[in-house]
Chains A and B, each alone.
Chain A
Amino acid sequence: MKDRGIVLAQARMAILVALRTPRAILFTVAFPLILLVLFNSIFIKSGDNGTTLPNDVRISAQAYFTAGIVAYAVALSTFTTLAVSLTTQRENGQLKRYRGTPMPPWTFIAAQITRATAQALLMTAVLLGVGALAYGVPIPTSTFPAFVLYVVLGTATCCSLGIALTAFTTTPDSASTIAPFTVVILAFFSGIWIPVDQLPQWLETVGKIFPLYHLALGLQTTLSPSAKGSGLDLQNVLVLALWAIAGARIASKRFHWEPQAARA
């Protein structure tokens, strides 16, 4: 399949660019790892060893923060990197150039999603591995399939929203401000930095509107040995899916291939 070869070649180029950008590696790979170590160190020292999720599942502090930071890393790897790199490539004319070639447009989008997904899965594996080995985070076999499903669904949702965001960012600067800022703030609303049971009610209510809350809750639930059944919650799945569809609709209607900043 020639077109699949085009997708792989473009994904490879995108990965090369990421590997050659130390700032990006620091921000999207090292940063979540540092946070994982910091959070686990702080909460082990303070002796705080557990919290109750909104669905009444008990979870250790280590598993709670590891799962939350996986959600954060997935959002950084997909939503943020896609919004920034697509806006940058659009504004410097690279996308316009692609459109002047026989390259099928879908192959480019597919390649960018492939790159982001690879990064999200790699980060998940690394964070989970560090959590399990260094902090004894359990990986329950009964709920692990649901954990993987949440990672995949969260990746899809965040990719979709990252591409959709480029409809509103006119410069690389605006993308690289808005996208990470959104994720950091939403992480507060989603119980990633501070456990949900310690948040004021209104903060949690607002958080529930957004997908990151449901991704974090789903991952936390499925990483807790006391979760019942598969650990899959219909509400989490539904909210993530709805955001994925909304993002895809905006992206398919309002994605631009030509620079937007210079336009009158």
Chain B
Amino acid sequence: MKLWDSVPLVSEVAISVSGLRKSYGEHEAVSGIDFEVAAGEVFGFRVPNGAGKTTTIEILEGYRERSGGEVAVLGVDPASPTRAWRNRVGLVLQECELDPLWTVREAIALFARFYAAPRPVAETIELVGLGDKRDARIGTLSGGQKRRVDVAIGIVGDPDLIFLDEPTTGFDPTARREAWNMIEGLKALGKTVFLTTHYMDEAQHLADRVAILRGGRIVAQGRTGELGESLGRRTVIGFTLDGGLGVEEVRARASAPVQLAGNRVEIETEQPQRDLYALLGLAAERGIVLEELEVRRPNLEDIFLELTRGEGG
């Protein structure tokens, strides 16, 4: 093995997009967006219907040509996809059926053949939790099980980067939880995952970073946990006063304005830790308990709804 063989081919950046534009005639579906996805991260892409989601993801997947801007996916321009590049990219598309007459194993084994170094078929079937359905025809599976076959086909080539386009739409809560575990498993294997979803809690749960698209532009992006703060949203500390403490004392210690509704206190703070420390210290001095204490971080779903108001969900 030569020295340069050990230099990783994968740059630290899995996807890099700058100034991406796409027009259909007069209509501009994507109007200059920029983002980067680091190798090994789960990137959540949250878009209301018809706001350029399909256009963007299909440009990245090598299905559509762009009108402008620069795009590199695993260091390659997806406008001219090569076989070697396809070997490293797995797709889980929306609205693509498989032949209902194939069995699960037949379908996955067929797709495995297309790749240079596929993952073992039996192992892939187990990974998506379809072990007991391996010989069932695809036409007999439930919607959730079919979606798992889609995922199995997307990962059977052992790709470095996986596009998951709404992997859990139409799932019941149990199936969604299982799908989440599977996606976390992919991340644990070191895969980069580009995830689009209709569910903000899904993005919040799975994604390291999130971008929100509206009207063909990115209106917010950042680390999942910090997106709210970066948009000026604050953490809320709330508790109920029960006589041992006066609201003026709370105001004196808090760093932010204190709202009082009935005997419920809420503080919208940029420094939650400092304020909690002060308030808990106060409670400890008095030997009292802060009743119904809660600390609420900014909710991504609220932010999303606010940012995309007036567009489809």
Contacts and interface: CB of A to CB of B under 8 A. Distances in A.
Interface stretch (A5-13, A196-204, A220-228, A231-239): A5-13
Nearest to B112: A9
B87 interface: yes
Contact of A10 (B91, B97, B110): B110
B83 A13 contact: no
B101 A97 contact: no
Interface stretch (B113-121, B201-209, B274-282): B113-121
A16 B107 CA distance: 12
Instruction: Count chain A CB atoms within 10 A of each CB in B61, B86, B96, B116 and give the residue with the most.
Output: B96
A89 B106 CA distance: 17
Given A6-B113, A10-B110, A102 B96 contact: no
B106 A16 contact: yes
- Interface SS, B side: loop
A118 B116 CA distance: 29
Interface string A1-31: 0000110011001001100110000000000
A140 interface: no
B115 A96 contact: no
B113 A20 contact: no
B113 A9 contact: yes
A102 B91 contact: no
A89 B157 CA distance: 22
B96 A96 contact: yes
A21 B101 contact: yes
Contacts of B106: 13, 16
Given A6-B114, A16-B101, A99-B63, A93 B95 contact: yes
A17 B102 CA distance: 7
B76 interface: no
A89 B153 CA distance: 16
Contact of A102 (B99, B101, B110, B114): B114
B247 interface: no
A100 B86 contact: yes
Given A93-B97, A97-B91, A97-B96, A102 B153 contact: no
Give the bracket for the number of chain A residues in contact with chain B.
20 to 34
A261 to B, nearest CB: 12
A13 B102 contact: yes
Contact of B111 (A17, A101, A258): A101
Nearest to A103: B114
B290 interface: no
Interface in B48-71: 61-63
Q: Could you say which of A5, A17, A102, A104 has the most chain B C-beta atoms within 10 Å of its C-beta?
A: A102
A22 to B, nearest CB: 11
Interface in A74-96: 89, 92-94, 96
Contacts of A101: 86, 91, 111, 114-115, 157
A92 B115 CA distance: 23
A100 B93 contact: yes
A94 B99 contact: yes
B180 to A, nearest CB: 24
A17 B101 contact: yes
B217 to A, nearest CB: 23
A102 B111 CA distance: 9
Interface of A: 5-6, 9-10, 13, 16-17, 20-21, 89, 92-94, 96-97, 99-104, 258
9 contacts: A6-B113, A16-B101, A16-B102, A21-B101, A92-B97, A96-B63, A96-B93, A99-B63, A100-B93
Closest 5 CB pairs of A and B: A93-B96, A92-B97, A102-B86, A103-B114, A100-B91
